[in-house]
Amino acid sequence: MSKKLLKWNEDRTLFPEKNSEGKIDVDYDSHKFMKIWHGPQHPGITGNMSLELTLLGDEVMDCETHVGYLHRGFEKLMERRKYIQCFPIVCRVAVPEPDFNEYCFASAMEELAGIEVPEAAEWLRTLVLEMSRLQSFLAWMGGQAGSLGQGIIGQWTIYLRDLILDRFEELTGGRIYHMYMLPGGVRGLLPDGFRQRMTENLDEIDRFMKDVKKVMFDNAVFKKRTVGMGVIDPAWIHPFGITGPNARAAGVAKDVRKDNPYLKYPELDFEPVVGKDSDIYTRADVRRRDLLMTVDLIRQIMAKIPDKGDIRAKTPNVLHWKVPAGETYSRAECTRGEYGYYMVSDGTEYPRRINVRGPSYTHAVALLEKMIVNANIADVAGLMVSLHTYPPEIER
Amino acid sequence: MGKEYIEKRTVISPEGNPIEVDPLKDYFCDAAPKSCKSASGIIEKFANWARSESLWVLGFGTGCGAIEMRPLMTPRFDAYRFGIQWRPTPRQASVFVISGYLSVKTLKRVVRSYEQMQNPKFVVALGSCTINGGMYWDSYNTINRLDHYMPVDVYIAGCMPRPEALLAGFDKLKHIIREGRGEGANKYAENFDWYKGNQKKIIKDWDMPDYNW
Amino acid sequence: MQTIIENLQKHFQVVSYHQQRENLGFLIASKEVAVGLITHLRDYEGFAHLVLLTAVDWIEDEHFQLTYLLHHPEKKVDLGVRVMISRENAEMYSIHHLWEQARTYQRELREMFGINFPGSPDVDKPFILEGWEEIPPYRRDFDTKEYSEKTYFPRPGRETHDPAEYMKKKLYPNE
Amino acid sequence: MGTIVTKILYALLTLFIVTNYGLILSGVVHKIGARVGRRHGIRFYQPYIDLIKNYTFRTRITHGIMYYIGPVFRLTGGIGLLLFLPVIYGSPVFDNFSFAGDLTFVLYFQFFGVLGMALGAGESGHPYSALGVSRGLAQTTAMELPLTLGVLALAVQYHTLNIHDIVAAQQGSILHWTLFTNPLAAIAMMLSFLAMMGRSPFDVVLAPQEIPIGPPTEYHSALLGVLQLNRAIFPAAKLILFMNLLFGGATNWGELIIKTFFIYMWSVFVGIAYPRFRVDQSVRWYLGIPLLIGVAAILVVKYF
């Protein structure tokens, strides 16, 4: 009763009718609409992109995503570099998880060249990929809470992320860009005492995630802002090419690690995390459980990883490495979805063409433009962050 | 995409009267910036001290360096201790951190944001890519030298620079400001035509006024 | 995978099929049948997920290769459909009605390769580049280094070497 | 004649002390927030440096004469609120211009700054300012309702519109505080207090993630300095108001500092732990339970 009393009876007859394409006809001269640019100079935007919003009152009527602010022309640059010269630049394609670029590049190249990677190297690659997922999830969680005005979560999770970055530094020598997975293997074995420190960090993360759950996920205001907001219809999954946690939150258990197992994932025990309601809250919760699963996976990997062994396969002289002609596609499951490299070789020392398939490509443009219509302007930031889009992998 | 929104046109006002609008002239002030005199002696020194101890950084992540800005402002490195704070609008910010490579499309927005900042303003450029192009020296879409387009106070080398390097860079910037050498805004005003010429050479669809406040 | 291809050969003329690995294959289709083939794959064979759409510039052979990479969510296999189109007046039928995100890919290809997709929404709008006046940058005959040196005021002092020769000169000067 | 001059001088002294207290308090509160996030946070005197820096900017642009009204009205609201409050109970020096009807006056000044800001920020023509202003006005209007009902309940309870008398009535024992004699009104007012301080969950007006940063988007250099000064004075004045109305006032500066600090902590702790409401949600929230509590407070005072 009281709920019904307090609920405003929304009169939508004042809103313009939608045309056959599902959009409204915007007539700026009617002085009803306002056009607003959300980004690129905007703290609420993920990375460097912009949304051109058309508002009627507080509601978004139309949206167009503008990308290209981060375009460096990687695919062109790689065409005029030798394979080994491509290796240091591929990780720069996407900042939050550079290792997926390295892995996809290396595995595509190994497949074309027919190189078998030693077992120890495969374990190390699995470890680095999972660590990369972990730190990316942590950074995202801060962003999601921050987009709804809860800055404290960001402080905690970035602190936890720094711990993982320390381990990265210890293992690979780099904080953000690691350049660890060479074509044919990896660059180094686990340092002494790495397991011990990693275990301590994982315990710390476990402890903090309990607090994060209490403060963020059990929070009444957070629930009020996110439950029922920004629902992805499961029927959109294939037409929009949605992958990763965004698809899993809609109840579709799509996980490249299970579907097309790579590296050592078949030997690890895990089940894809699946949500039900597909709103912002569910997506956040799926990512949180995915994060905890990643912590668990790292523990499993640490138990199985060999301390020594061959870490690099025999490769030709990298400066004169002619990769046999052919084409292939290699993929991996990153935090945002399916990450893939499509590589075409024409049998020379230079790649013919490399195409990067970033998951944000579909999430940030086609899907976001559709989802954002009829959202409140205050929810735009939260909605965009909940898709976990990252512009550099759209435009490369 | 059409550029009709910057062309002269007639708009019907809510009262029904037609109004002639020339957006570039009417919506912006395009007078060239003027070099500002600094106050003299001890007052300027005091002002410079205050400026150096209160660096308000514009929240514009232009490139991948932006990912290291978050650790910088969070527990491990905590730049707030040194008077470095975020500011979401260019009007209120005094430091522009160019975090990494600039594509031409971003440069256009960066120039606009830079011009909206108030004198004195400082530019810190991160990463090798702002110095000489770095990894992307032969890319067709990223600039090679930032100091051709706007005055730069401090360059921080590295790909990408670690937060410690950023802190050291900010420390250097503080020294520069305290010594009264942080006059980038005046330099921009004095060499305005040169900077504008360089910008216009690479920004092909120039659809904004020459200077926008 | 093999059964899918055999099924497919009943309806369409598949020029050549190449099995890259057990869950990835590539086939070549002609420009005319390609969209029909892809629709068939999506609707009857269950390749519901468009992984990527990209182009390769074979400048020596005077054609572009378009690759439609499709994924089968149940059988977990991928099939790449390669379509060769002429480099002159490059044009291809649009598939934006099959997948929503295809229009984004087609906008990008229009801009970066100059391949036209008539009918695709917003295909002529600039997507990544702004005010680009040269030939589309991903074409092989566009030289990015030359353009960069001409345009962006390279800072003097940078030297570039071919890594193989430079290493040889440095490490084995006597050979 | 002599008395009014001394009174003005005393008021200026109060203003000076409260301004400094407000500046240091905002620095300390920043630090407390930072500690929850495991940081050291800003130096406690950082607000002073920021203030000086903003006044030393060399350029300033204008959007017309109405544009200046924003900061001026805002500062007037802050100082006006303070000047009509008895800051220290029983002290002739820090009694300010408290007079018989100052309770209504205070309610008015509370809203005055927001209105001025709306006029000025609207003039700047920035869409984010416009959005922020409409949000701010909607939320302030909703938040005023429980606050006004609570204040009226106090007026009915103490049969006076003079803050000085209200403070006097609460002296003697901690149990004489309005907090204990009229808990319903106190609850309604303390819920309104959350939105008055502009912290989460009611900071959507300034939400930097959506509309950076709301009404003051276009204000810069000295104009921003004025706003910042007000951000020190206004919260301090509001804290003193709530201390006077609900927590028995203060008879010396030490008591004032302790009491206002703990009142501030109420909004700080809530602010740190919660994300922000959308403006329609916060309006709905204020028109729900807090409004009912406010009505109940009046009914209780009137009929029991």
Residues of chain D with Cβ-Cβ distance to B53 below 8 Å are 46, 49, 53
Q: What's the mean pLDDT in B166-175?
A: 91
Tell me how close the Cα of C45 comes to any Cα of chain A, in angstroms.
14
* CB < 8 Å & 24+ apart, contacts of A161-164: A161/A135, A161/B71, A162/B71, A162/B74, A162/B75, A162/B76, A163/A201, A163/A204, A163/A205, A164/A131, A164/A134, A164/A135, A164/A138, A164/A201
Question: Closest partner residue to C130 among B104, B138, B140, by Cβ?
Answer: B104
Please report the pLDDT score of residue D20 as a whole number: 92
Residues D29-71: tens digit of each pLDDT: 888 888 888 888 888 888 999 899 888 888 888 787 888 888 8
Nearest CA in chain A to C22: A260
Q: What's the mean pLDDT in C116-126?
A: 81
Q: Which chains touch B (3 or more CB pairs under 8 A)?
A: A, C, D
For chain C, the C-alpha Rg in angstroms (whole number) is: 21
Model confidence band, residue A357 (pLDDT cutoffs 50, 70, 90):
confident
Tell me how close the Cα of D209 comes to any Cα of chain A, in angstroms.
4
Q: Which of A337, A341, A345 is nearest to A286 (CA)?
A: A337
Q: Above 50 in pLDDT, residue A2?
A: no
Residue type, D56: T
d(CA D279, CA B136): 45
Residues of chain D with Cβ-Cβ distance to B47 below 8 Å are 52-53, 56
Q: A268 φ, ψ to 5°?
A: -100, 155
Class of domain B53-199: alpha beta
Residues of chain C with Cβ-Cβ distance to B6 below 8 Å are none
Mean pLDDT of all residues in chain C?
82
Question: Closest partner residue to C73 among A82, A254, A367, by Cβ?
Answer: A254
Q: Positive or negative, the Cα torsion across D92, D97, D100, D105?
A: negative
Mutate to test the interface with B, among A52, A64, A92 (most CBs of B within 10 A): A92
∠ CA A24-A28-A32 to the nearest 5 degrees? Answer: 80
Q: Which chains touch C (3 or more CB pairs under 8 A)?
A: A, B
Q: What's the mean pLDDT in B89-96?
A: 87
3-state secondary structure of B86: strand
Cβ separation of A69 and B105 shorter than 8 Å?
Answer: yes
Domain boundaries, chain B: 53-199
Peptide bond between residue B120 and the one before it cis (omega within 30 degrees of 0): yes
Q: Which domains does chain A have, with CATH numbers?
A: 74-358 (1.10.645.10)
Please report the pLDDT score of residue A21 as a whole number: 64
d(CA D250, CA D252): 6
Q: Classify each residue of D118-138 as buried b or exposed e, where b means 16 or more C-beta atoms within 10 Å of its C-beta.
A: bebbbbbebebbbbbbbbbbb
Please report the pLDDT score of residue A59 as a whole number: 81
Question: Closest partner residue to A378 among D200, D278, D284, by Cβ?
Answer: D278
Nearest CA in chain A to B162: A175
Please report the pLDDT score of residue B4 as a whole number: 65
Residue type, B32: A
Please report the pLDDT score of residue C138 as a whole number: 86
Q: Above 50 in pLDDT, residue A239?
A: yes
d(CA D52, CA D32): 23
Residues C41-88: tens digit of each pLDDT: 888 888 888 888 888 888 888 888 888 888 888 888 888 888 888 888
Q: Which CATH number fits domain C2-155: 3.30.460.80, 3.30.360.10, 3.40.50.1000, 2.30.29.30?
A: 3.30.460.80
∠ CA B26-B28-B33 to the nearest 5 degrees? Answer: 135
Residues D117-173: tens digit of each pLDDT: 888 887 877 888 888 888 888 888 888 889 888 888 888 888 888 888 888 888 888
Domain boundaries, chain C: 2-155
Task: Say what the pTM is.
Answer: 0.88
Residues of chain D with Cβ-Cβ distance to B213 below 8 Å are 61
d(CA B84, CA B87): 10
Nearest CA in chain C to A49: C128
DSSP strand pairing (A59-66 vs A50-56): antiparallel
Residues A272-310: tens digit of each pLDDT: 888 888 888 898 889 999 999 999 999 999 888 888 888
Residue D148 is inside which H or E element, if any? helix D127-158
Cβ separation of D208 and A44 shorter than 8 Å?
Answer: yes
3-state secondary structure of B34: coil
Q: What's the mean pLDDT in B40-65?
A: 85
Asked if A touches C (at least 3 Cβ pairs < 8 angstroms), the answer reads yes
Q: Does D212 touch chain B (CB under 8 A)?
A: yes
Model confidence band, residue C150 (pLDDT cutoffs 50, 70, 90):
confident
Tell me how close the Cα of D210 comes to any Cα of chain A, in angstroms.
6
Q: What's the mean pLDDT in A245-251?
A: 87
Cβ separation of A370 and C100 shorter than 8 Å?
Answer: yes
**Orientation angle between helical segments D2-36 and A151-172, nearest 10 degrees:** 40
d(CA A312, CA A303): 21
Cβ separation of A68 and C127 shorter than 8 Å?
Answer: yes
Q: Does B35 touch chain D (CB under 8 A)?
A: no
Tell me how close the Cα of A320 comes to any Cα of chain C, in angstroms.
7
Cβ separation of A156 and D272 shorter than 8 Å?
Answer: no
Please report the pLDDT score of residue A6 as a whole number: 45
Please report the pLDDT score of residue D43 as a whole number: 87
State what percent of residues in chain B have pLDDT above 90. 4
Task: For chains B and C, count residue pairs whose Cβ atoms are closer than 8 Å.
Answer: 61
Q: Which of D247, D219, D229 is nearest to D21 (CA)?
A: D229
Tell me how close the Cα of B179 comes to any Cα of chain A, in angstroms.
30
A345, A349, A352, A354: CA torsion to nearest 10? 80
Cβ separation of B142 and C152 shorter than 8 Å?
Answer: yes
Residues A115-171: tens digit of each pLDDT: 888 888 888 889 999 999 998 999 888 888 888 888 888 888 988 999 999 898 888
